[in-house]
Chains A and B, each alone.
Chain A
Amino acid sequence: MKLGPIALIAIIILIATPLLFATWVAVTFNSFVGKDQAVLTQWAQVETQYQRKINLIPEIVAIASSYMQFERSVLENITRLRSQWQNASGINQQINNATSIDQTLYLIKITYEAYPELRASELLINVMDTLTGTENRIAVEQSRYNGAVGVLNAQIRSFPDGWVAGTFGFQPRPFYAPIPGGPGNEVP
């Protein structure tokens, strides 16, 4: 039996279309895996930098408690919040706790800034500079995290890639709000 050119083309199309479709699905799937992983990696960066800030708290408290300008209750509060953070279970509890920590640290920062005579202590200056630097690092990693989330979410919402995302259960990731009192987000 001899096939005419039209039949031949039809057969080629019949074979090629599912192949091309499967390839497209695979490529899109992999691209989602990569972008989702980028979000998770970036989140780990945010956590690392946040942990760094938590680790600074004992040093801040130790140095600040020798100055009467810092209120005892604030210093006791931040110590308590730090141990709560370490015992926190689940990400929601940690986020709630993180907000309280940021607010309390902010109180310590404004106290430091309000009293120029505190600038006589090299130790205190150093730890406050480290705190400021760490908060800036957190802000940078957060903005990179949000960048990665934006890339992922845009693709999930786009057509036809969104269909692949829906089929394989890729969900948009939440954006992260900047820390209160952090760089670029000073509490008025």
Chain B
Amino acid sequence: MRRVLFAILAGLAVFAPSLALADEVPKVYLYVNDLASPHALLSNEAHDIEDICYQVDLDTTAEIAVLVVNTTGSLGIDMFAVRTFEVNGIGKKGQDNGVLIVVSTDEHAWRVEVGYGLEGVLTDGFVARVGREEMAPYISAGDFYTGIYNGTVAIGQKILDEYEPGPGSHPRPDLIEIDWRTVAIGVAIFLVISVITKGRLSLWVVGSIFKRGGFGGGRSGGGGASGKF
């Protein structure tokens, strides 16, 4: 009986993360997320771009996220960007002032997905021009850093110049936040399991108590532009 229970719990522990990935889009935790393999950006390059995003967030509360992937899968880059935006809630809640820059290395495609709250500032025309003129020429030559850096600067500068954050928005997301509810549930499960399995199944609970505090729950609806490089 205990063995069966142990097997079920262990199975759940293994499968829970893959169930979470069923929607095919990554969870992102930082401003700049280079998930491509091999990496498209060196770590100091990623930090450079991150500095711009941080500054824009600090001054205007708008959140710019950058994501480099190998492929956007069956979704295609447009839907992939919307879903990633949705799942991660880029931009502040209620302000919807997020921007997501996606570069897909295998498909040679880029997309800038603009949150509802920034559609007035970052028009489709502006964003398309930034992608075509500031990003694509460098990225197609293999210079991901310059392309993404230029694109982020152009978009960030436009936000700094023209965006007025609404009342009640707070800058600077916390990068990691402890989810106390999960901690409580985790401790309870941990105790029960420890009793049942005499302490054999243990540490997997610990990994799940941290959640991303960062992006603030913003929404988008397909605004922005995409293109090839």
Question: Is B124 touching A140 in the complex (CB atoms < 8 A)?
Answer: no
- Answer yes or no: B205 CB below 8 A from chain A CBs: no
Among B73-120, those with CB < 8 Å from A are 76, 78-79, 82
Within 8 A of B (CB), among A151-188: 183-184
User: B43-81: which residues lie under 8 A (CB-CB) from chain A?
Assistant: 76, 78-79
Q: Would you call B125 an interface residue if the criterion is a C-beta within 8 Å of the partner chain's C-beta atoms?
A: yes
CA of A141 to CA of B127, assembled, Å: 20
A52 to B223, CA, bound (A): 12
B78 touches A129 (CB 8 A): no
The size class of the interface chain B forms with chain A is 10 to 19
* Pairwise interchain contact B223-A139, C-beta atoms closer than 8 A: no
Task: Annotate B196-224 by CB proximity to A: 1 below 8 A, 0 otherwise.
Answer: 00000000000000000000000001111
Within 101-125 of A, Cβ neighbours of B (below 8 Å) are at 125
B82 cross-chain contacts in A, Cβ below 8 A: 140
Q: Which residues of B contact A136 (CB under 8 A)?
A: 78, 222-224, 226
Closest chain A residue to B78 by CB distance? A183
Is there a chain B Cβ closer than 8 Å to A130's Cβ? yes
Does the CB pair B223–A133 fall under 8 Å?
yes
* A94 interface contact, C-beta 8 A: no
Q: In the complex, A138→B124 CA distance in Å?
A: 14
In Å, the complex CA distance between A138 and B79 comes to 12
Contact of B222 among A129, A130, A139 (CB under 8 A): A139
Q: Is A137 in contact with chain B by the CB < 8 A criterion?
A: yes
Q: Which residues of A contact B127 (CB under 8 A)?
A: 129, 133
B225 cross-chain contacts in A, Cβ below 8 A: 129, 132-133
A100 CB-CB contact with B under 8 Å: no
Q: Is the CB of B128 within 8 A of A140?
A: no
State the CA gap A132–B228 with chains docked (Å). 14
Q: A residues within 8 A CB of B129?
A: 125-126, 129
Q: Does B194 contact A (CB under 8 A)?
A: no
B123 at the interface (CB under 8 A from A): yes
In the bound complex, how far is the Cα of B78 from the Cα of A134, in angstroms? 12
In the complex the two chains form, is A130's CB within 8 Å of B221's CB?
no
Which residues does chain A contribute within 8 Å of B221, judged by CB atoms? 45, 49, 137, 140-141
User: Given A130-B123, A133-B223, A133-B224, A139 and B78 touching (CB < 8 A)?
Assistant: yes
Total A-B contacts with CB atoms under 8 angstroms apart: 53
CB distance from A164 to the nearest CB of B (A): 29
Question: Is the CB of A79 closer than 8 A to any CB of chain B?
Answer: no
Contact among A129, A138, A139, A183 with B128 in the assembled complex (CB-CB below 8 Å): A129
Q: Determine the chain B residues whose CB is within 8 A of the CB of A84 once the complex forms.
A: none
Q: Is A143 an interface residue (CB 8 A)?
A: yes
Tell me, in angstroms, the Cα distance from A120 to B221 when the chains sit together: 30
Min CB distance, A124 to chain B, in Å? 11
Q: If the complex has contacts A139-B78, A184-B78, are A125 and B222 also in contact, measured as CB distance less than 8 A?
A: no
B113-154: CB near A (< 8 Å → 1, else 0) gives 000000000011101110000000000000000000000000
Q: How far is the CA of A132 from the CA of B225 in the complex (A)?
A: 8
A130 to B125, CA, bound (A): 6
B78–A130 CB distance below 8 A: no
The chain A residue sitting closest to B111, CB to CB, is A136
Q: When chains A and B are docked, how far (Å) is the Cα of A146 from the Cα of B222?
A: 15
Instruction: Report Cα–Cα, A183/B76, bound state, in Å.
Output: 9
Q: Are B79 and A129 in contact, with the CB atoms below 8 A? A: no
B128 contacts across to A, CB distance below 8 A: 125, 129, 132-133
A130-B224 Cα distance, complex, nearest whole Å? 9
* Least distance between B148 CB and chain A CB atoms (Å): 20
- Separation of A133 and B123 alpha carbons in the complex (Å): 9
Nearest residue, chain B, Cβ from A135: B222
Contacts of B222 in A (CB 8 A): 133, 136-141
Interface, chain B (partner A; CB < 8 A): 76, 78-79, 82, 123-125, 127-129, 221-226
Task: List chain A positions with a Cβ less than 8 A from chain B.
Answer: 45, 49, 125-127, 129-130, 132-134, 136-141, 143, 183-184
